[in-house]
Chain A
Amino acid sequence: MTEQASDFELVIRPKYGLFDLNWKELLEYHELLFFLALREIKIRYKQTVMGASWAVLQPLFTMIVFTLIFGGLAQMPSEGIPYALFSYSGLLLWTYFQNALTNSGNSLVGNAQLLSKVYMPRIFIPTAPCLAGIVDYAIAMTILAAMMVYYQFMPTAAILLLPVIVLLTLLLAAGVGYWLSSISVKYRDVKFALPFFIQLLMFVSPVIYPTDILSENLQWLLSLNPLTGLLNAHRAVLLGHVPVDYVGLAISAAITLAIFFSGILYLRRTEKYFADLV
């Protein structure tokens, strides 16, 4: 037995301190997080005919329908760019967020067997679907690239901000996912409320309409939705049709981080009874 191994000491106690997130342990188990995400990716399109093209079809068809209804019939303003491009760039990020949150919110109950049979940092379970969704996002991005070529849009240097925006969206989905998945261990209502909540959320986020069709007061209210700043910045850095609203992005980032860290704390507080309740 090596010296290193014998230095190992683990104490199991009833309660955690509120801020006692064991970073060392998370680091030690980090491979598992990627394995879990990889598992999500591998099983998502198993036994489907279309396979990974579903990642593209979902936002693409939504875009086509919305373009016909809002862009064509309703003449929705779209910040001076083609409505198809406008809505697809929003739907791209939105679809990622929606799928990540849905899978994350249902993850703890869905993985009851893991929870009740094996130890691992529980936080990985709702995190993995958020990571896995990035692959779908990247696949769906190819359509946007093609559309940008078609409509002759060139991204500017601001595109360097894209990873930050995607990361913030990931943290937001994960943060809300931590809250909802932890709550759903005790209250199964979450499973039913979640699709409904997501549907409503889409209509209070500037996915298929620009922020400026709203009055000043409502715009201010909308900016409290962290997705507002993220969606606007996402569109701006990709298409370069308007300058990036850094204030809006900063507000979104602050709210996102608050949700993310409070989600971690809530999950840590409640995880001790997961195995007993799930």
Chain B
Amino acid sequence: MTSRNNKPIIEVKHLSKEYQIGMDRTYKRFTESFTNAVRHPVRTLRGLTGSKETFWALKDVNFEVERGEVLGIIGRNGAGKSTLLKILSRITYPTEGEIVMRGRVGSLLEVGTGFHPELTGRENIYFNGAILGMKKREIEDKFEEIVKFSGVEKFLDTPVKRYSSGMNVRLAFSVAAHLDPEILLVDEVLAVGDAEFQKKCLGKMGEVASEGRTVIFVSHNMGAVKALCSRGVVLDEGTIRVVGDPDTTIDQYLNKIHREIYNVPLSDRRRDKPVSLRAKILNLEIVSEKTRVIDALDGTKPFEIHLTIQAFKQVRLAVQIEIRNDSRTIILCSSELQQNKTFEFKPGIYKIICLLRPSLLASGEYRITCGLAVGPHEWIDYVVDAHQFSIKELDIYHNGFSLSQRDAVFHVNHSWEVQRGV
């Protein structure tokens, strides 16, 4: 072991990144620069001296990563996660500060980059590999493996524009997965949308981590971070809020934030969609066995969602409820519009109850988004993530085995039988 080996593999020191805002296009025309300079000489000069309207995507970020560590970076959209990843992978440069990296970096955020539709699968493997930083020798050595892993053997000499999108992704991922970096960057946000692909990414990540290499995993999914990472960093508005063990420190921090959000009454929460507010959602509660549930539910029991609304005018509306799981997949989307059922309300306060029969949701966190709609085009009110609840366990057969969101999204009742012969 040299002394260098004892140093952290990544050191991020006072890292800041500034973007210019207020322009709908980032690139300019000569004439624009020119006419602006003529029309607003003072502003242009001031602009040159650096007082443009800017925004700090990252501000004074400091952290270190040890060799072999799996670090999770958590944050909401726009928290600066992707910017950080882009700087780590040298796509863009920081405005201030520096990063020292003591290992070769590879990332799963550039899957398929450099794929050319006119080229064959074989040719694209070589080009993509080279673009990701592999040597020709390396690609040749791993070629068989890459092809096998991707499962497109038969179409190796077909231009990739004739591939299905699934084949395309498989081949691209296969190349990226055979990169052997000392530091692997994974952006889960980009992997969302294709569940199989996401699973592959996570699988590869686990494999890399188990070989003692370093992984940086960016996610907005706390569950995945808990399951995979030894340490987590929470980013918010470009700064690090907390660093620590995902199971304790980070959990506590996020719970605190959640409590702060969920302590605000529903009627005062921010609305993310344009709403007419002819009626308003005041409150949402979960009730099971006639008592209000604050904490966790048993997955095998029925429960009710109680929605309190106030109508300000006479209004006919439909209620919509969406339940999402940890990875923001919609598990249930129920709208009375689907059933062509609307309720008529006179001004006043009402309680609407939705009864969910034993739904067999796997254990984990769930969020409810609710809305009031008039036809498919007008929202009277809409609150994203209005309520959060968790399923404590789903022990269907009462044998101590609880199904979690990692195993299956939910349980479908089923039975087995065996028949002799065909």
Residues of A within 8 A of B (CB): 1, 3, 5-15, 29, 31-32, 35-36, 38-39, 42-43, 46-47, 113-120, 185-189, 272-273, 275-278
CA distance in complex: A5, B2 (Å):
12
Check A187/B30 contact, CB under 8 A, given A6-B102, A31-B130, A118-B110: yes
Name which of A5, A36, A187, A276 has the most chain B CB atoms within 10 A of its CB. Answer: A276
B90 at the A/B interface (Cβ < 8 Å)?
A: yes
Check A118/B100 contact, CB under 8 A, given A39-B119, A276-B19: no
B320 at the A/B interface (Cβ < 8 Å)?
A: no
Cβ contact within 8 Å between B89 and A114 = no
Q: How many A-B residue pairs have CB under 8 A?
A: 126
A20 → B minimal CB distance (Å): 13
Show 14 residue pairs from A and B whose CB-CB distance is below 8 angstroms, ordered by the A residue: A6-B102, A8-B102, A12-B93, A13-B93, A29-B133, A32-B130, A35-B136, A39-B116, A43-B116, A113-B113, A113-B114, A118-B113, A119-B90, A187-B28
Check A11/B5 contact, CB under 8 A, given A31-B130, A189-B30, A277-B26: no
Q: Please tell me which one of the listed residues A9, A14, A115, A117 contacts residue B97 in the complex, with CB atoms under 8 A apart.
A: A14
Cβ contact within 8 Å between B27 and A39 = no
A156 → B minimal CB distance (Å): 39
Residue of A nearest to B90 (CB): A119
Residues on A with beta carbons closer than 8 Å to the beta carbon of B113: 113-114, 117-118
CA distance in complex: A119, B109 (Å):
11
B378 → A minimal CB distance (Å): 38
B113 → A minimal CB distance (Å): 4
**Chain B positions 386-408 with a Cβ under 8 Å from a chain A Cβ:** none
Name which of A7, A187, A273 has the most chain B CB atoms within 10 A of its CB. Answer: A187
Cβ contact within 8 Å between A9 and B101 = yes
B118 at the A/B interface (Cβ < 8 Å)?
A: yes
Residues on A with beta carbons closer than 8 Å to the beta carbon of B30: 187, 189
A52 → B minimal CB distance (Å): 15
Check A42/B119 contact, CB under 8 A, given A5-B104, A35-B130, A276-B92: yes
Residues on A with beta carbons closer than 8 Å to the beta carbon of B2: 3, 6-7
Cβ contact within 8 Å between A272 and B103 = no
CA distance in complex: A119, B87 (Å):
10
Residue of B nearest to A29 (CB): B133
Residue of A nearest to B130 (CB): A35
Residues on B with beta carbons closer than 8 Å to the beta carbon of A119: 89-91, 133
Cβ contact within 8 Å between A117 and B110 = yes
B385 at the A/B interface (Cβ < 8 Å)?
A: no
Q: Please tell me which one of the listed residues A7, A14, A31 contacts residue B136 in the complex, with CB atoms under 8 A apart.
A: A31
Residues on A with beta carbons closer than 8 Å to the beta carbon of B100: 9-12
B29 at the A/B interface (Cβ < 8 Å)?
A: yes
CA distance in complex: A5, B182 (Å):
9
A247 → B minimal CB distance (Å): 37
CA distance in complex: A12, B20 (Å):
21
Cβ contact within 8 Å between A117 and B98 = no
CA distance in complex: A188, B29 (Å):
6
Cβ contact within 8 Å between B119 and A187 = no
Residues on B with beta carbons closer than 8 Å to the beta carbon of A275: 86, 91-92
Check A189/B91 contact, CB under 8 A, given A10-B101, A31-B136: no
9 closest residue pairs by CB, A with B: A119-B90, A35-B130, A272-B93, A46-B118, A12-B99, A275-B92, A117-B113, A118-B110, A117-B110
Check A6/B103 contact, CB under 8 A, given A42-B119, A43-B118, A188-B27: yes
Cβ contact within 8 Å between B86 and A186 = no
Residues on B with beta carbons closer than 8 Å to the beta carbon of A8: 102-104, 182
B157 at the A/B interface (Cβ < 8 Å)?
A: no
Check A117/B91 contact, CB under 8 A, given A186-B28, A188-B29: yes
B258 → A minimal CB distance (Å): 33
B132 at the A/B interface (Cβ < 8 Å)?
A: yes
CA distance in complex: A156, B68 (Å):
64
Residues on B with beta carbons closer than 8 Å to the beta carbon of A114: 113-114, 131
**Chain B positions 98-126 with a Cβ under 8 Å from a chain A Cβ:** 98-105, 109-110, 113-114, 116, 118-119, 123, 126
CA distance in complex: A11, B113 (Å):
24
Residues on A with beta carbons closer than 8 Å to the beta carbon of B97: 14
Residue of B nearest to A7 (CB): B4
Cβ contact within 8 Å between B26 and A276 = yes
CA distance in complex: A1, B208 (Å):
13
**Chain B positions 1-42 with a Cβ under 8 Å from a chain A Cβ:** 2, 4-5, 19, 26-31, 33
Residues on A with beta carbons closer than 8 Å to the beta carbon of B33: 187
Residues on B with beta carbons closer than 8 Å to the beta carbon of A14: 93-98
Q: Please tell me which one of the listed residues A36, A39, A189 contacts residue B29 in the complex, with CB atoms under 8 A apart.
A: A189
CA distance in complex: A119, B5 (Å):
25
A118 → B minimal CB distance (Å): 4
Check A43/B110 contact, CB under 8 A, given A13-B98, A275-B91, A276-B92: no
Cβ contact within 8 Å between A6 and B4 = yes
Residue of B nearest to A31 (CB): B136
Cβ contact within 8 Å between A118 and B114 = yes
Cβ contact within 8 Å between B130 and A11 = no
Cβ contact within 8 Å between B182 and A1 = yes
CA distance in complex: A13, B105 (Å):
16
